[in-house]
Every structure is written in structure tokens, then in C-alpha cells.
Copies of this chain bind each other. A is one copy, B any other.
Amino acid sequence: MTKSPNPQLDETTISSEQIFKGKVISLQVDTVELPNGTQGKREIIRHPGAVAVLAVREGKLLLVNQYRQAMGRCELEIPAGKLEVGEDPMEAAQRELKEETGYDCSKIRLLHSFYTSPGFADEIIHLYLAEDLIEGASSPDEDEFVEVHEADLAEVKKYVADGWIADAKTLLAVYMWELAMNTGQFGHA
């Protein structure tokens, strides 16, 4: 992005202590100098980044049902997954779509890249629109248990109201889809 229009808000990192390095995330506590010259602590999660796929087939949104330990229950989300080391996000999006739903796509483009929790995490999700879907067999990872759902907008809205759809990226995809029905195009482009 263009440079921050007000550098007077910037914080300066004085030191950084790594607390934990896991398989998926790592945790560090940074000591920063605040704009008023005092010091503060920032608890920061480092994450490899992820991709998510907005895919609509015959008027139905592709969704996957999966258990989320952080929530303590199953949730319905658009297909998504972590980036492998060095992986191109667009290829990752095609890979996750295929693994989780079985669909290939011959047309794909980036809609938005966004931070999920900028207050404490650097996780960024690259959200793609996949089109021209070709049905095939899914191949989830060994420790991944997912179930594919296809739902029209009325069903999707019911899942949102019920709380079965309950995460930011999927909700964003739902609103982008609904707006696209009104405007005829996905995204702001």
C-alpha cells in the first residue's frame, strides 16, 4: 500500500521475544515505543497465511463442514487452507478447492487479500473467485475431515442466522456473492 499518511501514529519495535513456535502458529511478545514516547507490549501471532475460495456452481455456494477445536463445534465455511512454504497463493487456492470439494476450476482470480485479526495476528487470507468448475474426486489431507455442502442464497442466509456459518471470510464471501447478484460483478473492480 501507499505509505501510512500519518507516521506520527507509528510504533517502533524495541525488542521481540519469541515465546512459542508451533506447527501452525508462533507467538512473540514485542516491546514497542508508542507515539508519546512511552513503552508498551504487543502480543503477536505469526501465521503462514491462508487462501479461501468463493465458488458458485449452478446458483449454489460451495461450502465445507468441519470441526473447529477453537469453537468446540462444527462450522460451515468456504473451502480454505493454510499456505505451504513457498507456495503460490493462486495454486494453493486451486489445490484446496480440489482437495476439499473435488472441483477443479479453469478460471480463477484474486478478489481480496485481508488480515483476519490485525490486533494480534499477521494472518492474511487471499480470497479467490473460482469459476468454470469441473467436478471430480476430493482428496482431503490425512488429518482433515470435511463434508461438502452446496447451498443457494436462501439456504446460506439460514445457515448464517443459525450460526452454522459463523466466520469472517465466509460471511464476507456471502455478502460479496449477494452484492454480485445485484450488480452483476464480483468485487469492486
Are A116 and B168 in touch, CB under 8 angstroms? yes
Q: Decide: A146 near B9, CB < 8 A? Known: A29-B22, A47-B120.
A: yes
Interface string of A72-91 (1 = CB under 8 A from B): 01110100001000000000
Docked-complex contact B69 and A166, CB < 8 angstroms: no
The 8 A CB mask of A44-60 against B (1 = contact, 0 = none) is 11010010000000000
Q: CB within 8 A of A160: which of B6, B112, B157?
A: B112
Which residues on the B side are within 8 Å of A119 (C-beta)? 24, 50, 68, 70, 82
How many Å lie between the Cα of A22 and that of B176 in the bound state? 36
**Size class of A's contact patch?**
35 or more
Question: Given the complex, which residues of B lie within 8 Å of A13, measured CB to CB?
Answer: 69
Q: How far is the CA of A36 from the CA of B146 in the complex (A)?
A: 12
With a CB–CB cut-off of 8 A, which chain B residues contact A68?
115, 118-119
Q: Which of A99-107, A121-129, A131-139 contacts B (4 or more CB under 8 A)?
A: A121-129
**How many copies of this chain?**
2
Instruction: Please name all residues of chain B whose beta carbon is closer than 8 Å to the beta carbon of A108 when the two chains form the complex.
Output: none
Give 1 or 0 for each of A1-15: 1 = CB within 8 Å of chain B CB: 110111011110100
The CA-CA distance from A22 to B32 in the complex, in Å, is 16
Q: Which of chain B's residues have a CB closer than 8 A to the CB of A145?
A: 8-9, 34-36
Residues in chain B near residue A115, CB distance under 8 A: 68, 70-71, 75, 166-168
How far is the CB of A177 from the nearest CB of chain B, in Å?
10
- Chain B min CB distance to A160 (Å): 6
Residue of chain B at shortest CB distance from A22? B43
The 7 A-B pairs with the shortest beta carbon distances in the complex, nearest first, are: A1-B163, A4-B74, A168-B168, A175-B175, A42-B69, A182-B182, A22-B43
